[in-house]
Chains A and B, each alone.
Chain A
Amino acid sequence: MKNKVFMGFATIMMVVILAGCGKVPQAQIDATNAAIEAAKAAEVNVYLPDEFAKVQDAMNAVLADVETQKSKLFKKFGDAKLKLDEVTNMANQAAAAVAAKKEEVKKEAQTLLTDIKTVIEENTKLVPRLPRGKEGAQVIEQIKADLSGVESAVAEAQGLFDKGAFLDAVNKVKSAKAKADGLNSEIKEALTKARIRF
């Protein structure tokens, strides 16, 4: 009888002790952190900032869940483990998706750079044919200076592109393209007014 009571008590104690000693899933936390770092290295934070923010939010929530469990007498990390797997998947998916997004931005930059070079080439050819209209040489000088400014901006955008900073290159080349298009319209309008064929 005595032994039975003792065994019963010991079992209860073992259950209590085991339940209270659930282990923090440190290896999984480390793996998820590594997946997030890999996503960051793939520039998910640059090209897919919303997705990256979601991953970070989810990770912060899991880490808080882990601490919540650690604060309890009876710790259960099952949920946290599942969530860590989810976050790892999210990070991996974002890292996989960023390549496509990067390629898309790269193509956009490439197209813009090609387009703007064509416009610059056309502008450069048309400038010498500009009528020395009412305002004359000074206007042509200003157009030349503006064209040179556009060329510098394109060179800068090309530099950013070559460095792999595709988003910055797109922004830079967009404004240069707007300027080059504006100059192109200005030049063509002047040529049309002067009835010069182009």
Chain B
Amino acid sequence: MGKEPGKILIISVITLALLITGFLLFYPVPSPPSDILKTARDSISIALKKQADRYAPELFIQAKNSYDSAIAVWKRENERFIYARNYDPAKDYARMALKFSNLASVNSVELRSELMVKARENIDSLNNLLKRINDRYISYPYPVEIRERISKGKMLLKDAEVYLAEELYREADSLTSESEKLLSSAREFADLNLTEYFKSWPLWKKWITNTIAVSKKTGAYAIIADKFSRKLLLYHRGEKIKEYSAELGSNWVGNKRTDGDKATPEGMYKIIKKLDGNNTKYHKALLLNYPNTEDAARFKREVAGGSLPASAKIGGMIEIHGAGGKGADWTDGCIALTNSEIDVIYRLVNIGTPVTIVGSIYNIDQVLN
């Protein structure tokens, strides 16, 4: 009889233990977020292969952070009693990771493709810009700083071409932007300066018309020098009969202002002396009446206005002479032809022959297009 309570107790304990074991074995545990996290992980991996870390970095980081959060929450839940675990927040984070990584992939592919097209277009456009700079301004006397800008712009363009070939489109795009700034600023500098310079074009045109009219009226020779195209045009009886390549002062854009500025003057001049033999070191020379009345008046105004120092000298000894054919603008302001060319002109012209020097015989639109 005394053994009954003990027996009942043992049976109860065993029953309870069996119940607990049964419960542990058969009661469903919360399902972990393994599958959704694997999908998210694969999606992040695909996004990475599509370079989303470079082309959609914000979305990619959000995807990674969401994945990390899912893992962290999962870990935290795993520390709890197995039946008290709640994996829903981890699954939510995993879904977010999946959503962000999918978006990152799509955006990356789109942006990459856009940047590739943009970089290619920019490179083409910059190569065209460089060609325009080379074609129009090859002999333009750029300041050193602008030349350096062009060189730097060219280098960046080459860098961009390398990055484009390496499929690093963001870098290529950024380099083309930098290159564009430099090359455009050089072109703008030249365009602006030329536009300013060509404001004198109506005056040049007037001089040209007058010079040709005089040649026609007198039946004599006349010379017109076009600085922009480096041409010296010989007229007879109002008709152009010959065209020569000319070389100028190295600082050829703009009118001559002072002695030593290496600029070729602009104006209506006359030949006042013919020099040959030991009288010139340039084979033969035609001395012009620079400074003429207008040059002298302008110089005086500039000195009085303070734009030139009081000590400035107006200069002189502007000639059309030989020793040219170097292909460079090398003179101190004179116009150089080859010896054989100056021989011909020297024979044809006389003291008093008009020599008109202009910036250009064409207007700015004709020059730039």
Contacts and interface: CB of A to CB of B under 8 A. Distances in A.
A9 B18 contact: yes
A176 B155 contact: yes
A145 B41 CA distance: 52
Interface in B1-55: 10, 14, 17-18, 21, 24-25, 29-30, 32, 34, 37-38, 41, 45, 48-49
Given A9-B18, A53-B48, A171-B163, A136 B24 contact: no
Interface string A166-198: 000001101110110010000000000000000
B32 A145 contact: no
Interface of A is mostly: helix
Contacts of A139: 138-139
B27 to A, nearest CB: 9
Interface stretch (A69-77, A80-88, A89-97): A69-77
Contacts of B29: 71-73
Contact of A148 (B139, B151, B161, B326): B151
B330 A137 contact: yes
B150 interface: yes
Nearest to A194: B327
B246 to A, nearest CB: 12
Interface string B78-103: 10001001010000000000000000
A179 B155 contact: yes
Given A13-B17, A16-B24, A171-B162, A71 B150 contact: no
Nearest to B165: A174
B176 interface: no
A63 B67 CA distance: 12
B247 interface: yes
B147 interface: yes
Nearest to A67: B74
A16 B18 CA distance: 12
A79 interface: no
A133 interface: yes
Nearest to B29: A73
Interface residues of A, number: 46
A141 interface: yes
Contacts of B82: 73
B237 interface: no
Nearest to A171: B162
Interface of B is mostly: helix
A22 interface: no
Given A68-B32, A136-B328, A138-B141, A57 B45 contact: yes
B120 interface: no
A67 B326 contact: no
Q: In which size bucket is the chain B interface? A: 35 or more
B281 interface: no
Contacts of A146: 151, 154
Given A145-B147, A153-B155, A174 B162 contact: yes
A5 B14 contact: yes
B161 A178 contact: yes
Contacts of B61: none
A149 B152 contact: yes
A155 interface: no
A114 interface: no
Given A60-B41, A64-B37, A137-B330, A12 B21 contact: yes
B326 A132 contact: yes
Contact of A145 (B87, B138, B151): B151
Contacts of A9: 14, 17-18
Interface of A: 2, 5-6, 9, 12-13, 16, 53, 57, 60-61, 63-64, 67-68, 70-73, 131-142, 145-146, 148-150, 152-153, 171-172, 174-176, 178-179, 182
Given A64-B37, A141-B142, 15 more contacts: A16-B25, A53-B45, A53-B48, A68-B34, A70-B75, A71-B32, A71-B85, A132-B328, A135-B138, A136-B139, A136-B330, A137-B329, A138-B328, A171-B163, A176-B155
